[in-house]
């Protein structure tokens, strides 16, 4: 059971509308509905009558509502009471793992903030990482952004700065293993698209940021029919597999560039159609009262290359 399921249920009880509650919780309606069903499955009881408009609580839902409200209050009170005093001086980042490895340290070095920072573990899925910001678990969310992956955040409540750029590139080892042979990695995506081989593919999975973006790009081509041989939400994990010749994958240029320069990786296609231009964005909650958080935001706004939308 997750605390956000309880918060979703309370929002639904207050609005009697799946669409309005999903908007308040900054998630898509299908994702919101899945989370309500997960809560019902965990409890073993139906909480919402879906046969009525507007949505109504079942008798079990009415009984559970005060329990959920009390549990939420208890959880957050306990978190504040147990948080170490030293931690309150740290600015907290939720960040995609690759940006933690390739971007964050250099960017913070340019800002030279006179305070400490803390990075939460990458939660893998888009919604889970966004939820860290929405639920005040993090002060900032550092993420890639692309038009294929819209973020369902209320712009009146959450603002962002574009603080960098990157590209997602299709890459492979110089030699890629196939079931009965090896083949040249350079241009392997182009040859697969021409129907000359089945592409061994290292996938980000369906819910990570890159996974969602790539699935939407691939859906435009009916000829793209890869054979998934490995899956990971972490770019560094896919890179390690690609280096063994297990298959092709997409990697951020910031991560792949040294290996492309040394020849340990090669381009699986030179076509711009398979390259995704990415923004690097810093999101914050506009009502965060912390002077430290606002000082970092103002510093980020001033550094070269930080462009407000």
Could you read off the pLDDT of 62-76 as tens digits, one per residue? 899 889 888 887 876
| Per-residue pLDDT at 239 | 94
In a domain, residue 231? The reply is yes
In a domain, residue 307? The reply is no
Residue 132: CATH number of its domain:
3.40.190.10
In a domain, residue 214? The reply is yes
Separation CA 68–CA 73 (nearest Å): 9
Helix, strand, coil distribution of the chain in percent, nearest 5: 45, 20, 35
Evaluate the omega torsion of the peptide bond into residue 54 and state whether it is cis, within 30 degrees of 0. yes
Question: Of the candidates 56, 82, 108, which is a domain's last residue?
Answer: 82
- 296 shares a domain with 155: yes
- 40 shares a domain with 8: yes
| Per-residue pLDDT at 309 | 47
By C-alpha distance, which of 153, 154, 201 is closest to 176? 201
Separation CA 101–CA 207 (nearest Å): 21
In a domain, residue 199? The reply is yes
| Per-residue pLDDT at 86 | 43
- 205 shares a domain with 76: no
Question: Of the candidates 60, 82, 104, which is a domain's last residue?
Answer: 82
In a domain, residue 135? The reply is yes
| Per-residue pLDDT at 79 | 64
- 68 shares a domain with 47: yes
Q: What's the pLDDT tens digit per position in 76-123?
A: 667 655 655 444 568 889 888 899 989 999 999 888 877 788 888 777
- 98 shares a domain with 29: no
- 192 shares a domain with 101: no
| Per-residue pLDDT at 216 | 84
**Helix boundaries (H) for 44-171:** 59-82, 97-99, 105-111, 126-134
In a domain, residue 115? The reply is yes
- 272 shares a domain with 171: yes
Report the domain count for the chain: 3
- 141 shares a domain with 102: yes
- 129 shares a domain with 92: yes
The pair of three-digit structure tokens given for residue 209, joined into one six-digit string: 């940021």
Q: Specify the residue for token string 């907290």.
A: 92
Separation CA 72–CA 57 (nearest Å): 19
Range of the domain at 182: 167-276
Q: What is the pTM of this model?
A: 0.71
Residue 40: CATH number of its domain:
1.10.10.10
- 248 shares a domain with 258: yes
Separation CA 221–CA 205 (nearest Å): 18
Separation CA 133–CA 63 (nearest Å): 30
Question: Of the candidates 82, 111, 126, which is a domain's last residue?
Answer: 82
- 191 shares a domain with 69: no
In a domain, residue 197? The reply is yes
- 289 shares a domain with 144: yes
Question: Under the phi-then-psi rule, with left for phi > 0, alpha for psi from -120 to 50, and beta for the rest, what region is 95?
Answer: beta
In a domain, residue 309? The reply is no
Q: What average pLDDT values come out for the chain (309 residues) when binned by 10 residues?
A: 86 83 81 90 88 80 88 73 58 89 90 83 73 84 89 82 94 92 92 86 87 84 81 90 94 96 96 93 86 87 60
């Amino acid at each position: 059971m997750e605390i956000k399921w309880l918060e979703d249920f309370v929002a639904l009880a207050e609005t009697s509308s799946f669409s309005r509650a999903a908007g308040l919780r900054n998630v898509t309606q299908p994702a919101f509905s899945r989370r309500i069903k997960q809560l019902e499955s965990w409890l073993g009881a139906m909480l919402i009558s879906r046969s009525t408009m507007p949505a109504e609580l079942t008798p079990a839902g009415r009984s559970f509502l005060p329990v959920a409200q009390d549990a939420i209050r208890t959880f957050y009170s306990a978190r504040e009471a147990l948080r170490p005093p030293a931690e309150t001086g740290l600015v907290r980042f939720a960040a995609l793992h690759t940006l933690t490895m390739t971007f964050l340290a250099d960017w913070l070095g340019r800002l030279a903030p006179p305070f400490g920072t803390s990075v939460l573990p990458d939660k893998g899925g888009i919604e889970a990482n966004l939820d860290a910001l929405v639920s005040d678990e993090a002060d900032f969310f550092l993420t890639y952004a692309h038009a294929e992956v819209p973020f369902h955040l209320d712009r009146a409540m959450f603002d962002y700065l574009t603080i960098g750029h990157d590209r997602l590139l299709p890459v492979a080892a110089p030699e890629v293993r196939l079931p009965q042979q090896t083949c040249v990695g350079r241009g392997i995506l182009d040859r697969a698209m021409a129907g000359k081989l089945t592409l061994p593919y290292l996938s980000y999975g369906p819910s990570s940021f890159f996974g969602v973006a790539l699935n939407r790009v691939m859906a435009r081509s009916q000829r793209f029919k890869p054979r998934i041989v490995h899956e990971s939400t972490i770019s560094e994990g896919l890179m390690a597999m690609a280096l063994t010749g297990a298959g092709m994958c997409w990697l951020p240029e910031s991560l792949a560039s040294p290996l492309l320069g040394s020849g340990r990786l090669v381009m699986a296609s030179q076509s711009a159609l398979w390259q995704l231009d990415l923004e690097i964005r810093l999101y914050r909650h506009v009502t965060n009262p912390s002077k430290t958080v606002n000082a970092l935001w103002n510093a980020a706004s001033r550094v070269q290359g930080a462009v407000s939308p």
